[in-house]
A and B are shown apart, each in its own frame.
Chain A
Amino acid sequence: GQNIDQPTEMTATEGAIVQINCTYQTSGFNGLFWYQQHAGEAPTFLSYNVLDGLEEKGRFSSFLSRSKGYSYLLLKELQMKDSASYLCAVIKAAGNKLTFGGGTRVLVKP
């Protein structure tokens, strides 16, 4: 089976930086996705990592270490609209099945 762990909740201040960690245990790893989900809305794609290292996309960056089974999503210059749940998901070599972590709810305070 697969085990994907991420913190349940984090609070940060507008303009600050927050790092959301995700650890996973799986066989046949073929990539890790990060999604953002606002309450009552669909998850939207943020980033994808398949090789080790950092992928930067504007205010959001994602890092992967396959040997450690570890990823993080870094949100910089936090804005109020970044208050949402952030979901870490792993995809295996065969097929399109995403296995999600429980999600991290981020609350941005003024």
Chain B
Amino acid sequence: KAGVTQTPRYLIKTRGQQVTLSCSPISGHRSVSWYQQTPGQGLQFLFEYFSETQRNKGNFPGRFSGRQFSNSRSEMNVSTLELGDSALYLCASTLLPGNQPQHFGDGTRLSIL
């Protein structure tokens, strides 16, 4: 069974641009969560989607948004990029929301110049 797939793996953008990252969960998994990982802040929760609805949102500005499609694939978007947005963005999936192990993708490494 294929794992969580994130594309692209690496991305370089400049300040002020916007970016869209994609996540395909494990087949059959319907819950998708996004996290940002930086050396200074560690792993921080961005948002969680289930059945195309955002169920939880972390403490990030409105420039960070996401959505989930009917096939459970998810995208996150960051607008007006800032240098501080440079990070590894990780997506994780579970069958259903709740206290189940989340399976992470390899992430998208975003660098802002």
Contacts and interface: CB of A to CB of B under 8 A. Distances in A.
Q: Chain A interface secondary structure, helix, strand, loop or mixed?
A: strand
Size bin of chain A's contact surface: 20 to 34
Size bin of chain B's contact surface: 20 to 34
Nearest to B93: A96
Contact of B58 (A89, A94, A97): A97
Interface of B: 4, 31, 33, 35, 42-45, 48, 50, 55-56, 58, 90, 92, 94, 97-99, 101-107
Interface of A: 30-31, 33, 35, 41-45, 48, 50, 87, 89, 91, 94-103
Given A43-B104, A45-B101, A96-B94, 19 more contacts: A30-B99, A33-B101, A42-B4, A42-B107, A45-B102, A89-B43, A94-B56, A95-B56, A96-B31, A96-B33, A96-B56, A96-B97, A97-B45, A97-B58, A98-B35, A98-B43, A98-B92, A98-B102, A103-B42
